[in-house]
A and B are shown apart, each in its own frame.
Chain A
Amino acid sequence: MASRSELSAFLESVERRAFKQAVFAVRDEEAALDIVQDAMLRLAEKYGHRPAEELPLLFHRIVQNAIRDWFRRQKVRSLWTTLLSSLSPSRGEDDEQDPLETLQPADGSNMEEAPAEQLERAQVLEIIEQELARLPARQREAFVMRYWEELDVAETARVMGCSEGSVKTHCSRAAHALAAALRARGITL
């Protein structure tokens, strides 16, 4: 049984990567924070008594399920929004907002004083994150589990609920697609 300190250390070690993965998937930082919080609560409430070595697979599985739940809820919400907006009167032109007024600058886009290398590294990181977010969901899941979370093929298959062959296929396609996208943007690793 995982002790409180073991669970705390595990969550601390994994929470930022989980947050980033959720951001890649849902492209909304607030929603990603909610997803990670839900996943942490579910893990502690339902699986807090399990041995510490079982926690990583359980947590990754819970995060993936929480992301899917979020997409399901979004689908229902967008359906209702479409229905209700079709009933409500259309807005006047005065209400229209210029997207440039509310557009937030990307992190690291205002770093004139930073050294060139640091800037370049930040830009490469940003491009990689963008391209990862563009990958098909299953390919991204498989790639991130295998190469960022360092799970083996069997563990990734258990987390994703698919066969090991599918994991290998998803990973290979993701790696090739990501490499090609980075090459197209002038980045060679």
Chain B
Amino acid sequence: MSPAKRPEQAMNEFQFGDKIRHILNQGLSLDSRKAARLQAARELALARKRPEPVGVLASTGVWAGNMVGDFGGWTGLSLRVLVPVAMLLIGFGAIYTWQQNQRAAEVEEIDAQLLTGDLPIDAYLDRGFQNYLKTRAAEE
């Protein structure tokens, strides 16, 4: 086959396919029994379709769709998965920071009391506090 003949042959194939389609479309009439069977199958399929969202959920969906874009396909999947994961990570980060701040504040308070001599005498009787002081001295 020479390259020059290809477009012509492709066109012929397309025209041939077009003619076949017209003829096949003429043979789509079915007898009443088969038509009824197909209609029953269609109705059964429609009955099994998942219900469409209604009311508030539907309006929220439309609003979110307008604001964010398409929720179907990969975009929808990534939004449904990534947003909760991101929220979770932010939550963990916030809790960790708050805990660190709390610890720093406690240490700061004890240090301040030590330096100013405001520490109650009972504190020196506490074994845990003595251990703490030893650890701090070893660290420094």
Interface residues of A (CB under 8 A from B): 1, 3-4, 7-8, 11-12, 15-17, 19-20, 29, 33, 36-37, 40-41, 43-45, 48-51, 121, 124-125, 128-129, 143, 146-148, 150, 171-172, 175, 178-179, 189
* Residue from B14, B16, B24, B72 whose CB has the most chain A CB atoms within 10 Å: B24
Distance, CA A125 to CA B44, complexed state (A): 31
Complex CA distance for A175 and B14, rounded to whole angstroms:
9
Q: What is the CA–CA distance of A43 and B44 in the complex, to the nearest angstrom?
A: 12
Q: In this assembly, does B136 line the interface, its C-beta being within 8 Å of a C-beta of chain A?
A: no
With a cutoff of 8 Å between Cβ atoms, the chain B residues found around residue A17 in the complex are: 24, 28
Assembled-state Cα–Cα distance A110/B54 (Å): 54
B residues in contact with A16, CB < 8 Å: 28, 30, 38
Inter-subunit contact B21/A148 (CB<8 Å): yes
Is chain B's binding surface mostly helix, strand, loop or mixed? helix
A53 → B minimal CB distance (Å): 11
List, in ascending order, chain B residues with CB within 8 A of A147's CB.
14, 17-18, 20-21
> Complex Cα distance A129/B20, Å?
10
Q: Assuming the A-B contacts A17-B28, A148-B21, are A44 and B38 also in contact, with contact meaning beta carbons closer than 8 angstroms in the complex?
A: no
Distance of B118 from chain A, by nearest CB (Å): 67
Residue of A whose beta carbon sits closest to that of B71: A1
Determine the distance from Cα of A171 to Cα of B14 in the docked complex, in whole angstroms: 10
Question: Cα distance A15–B14 when bound, in Å?
Answer: 24
CA A17 to CA B30, docked complex, whole Å: 11
Q: Are A11 and B23 in contact (CB under 8 A)?
A: no
When distances are taken between beta carbons in the complex, the residues of chain A under 8 Å from B20 are 128, 147-148, 178, 189
Contacts of A45 in B (CB 8 A): 45, 48-50
Chain B residues, Cβ within 8 Å of A125 = 23-24, 26-27
- Find out whether the CB atom of A143 lies under 8 angstroms from the CB atom of B44: no
Residues of A within 8 A of B23 (CB): 121, 124-125, 128, 189
CB distance from A128 to the nearest CB of B (A): 6
- Bound Cα distance A8, B37 (Å): 15
Complex contact A44–B41 (CB within 8 A): no
In contact, A33 and B37 (Cβ under 8 angstroms): yes
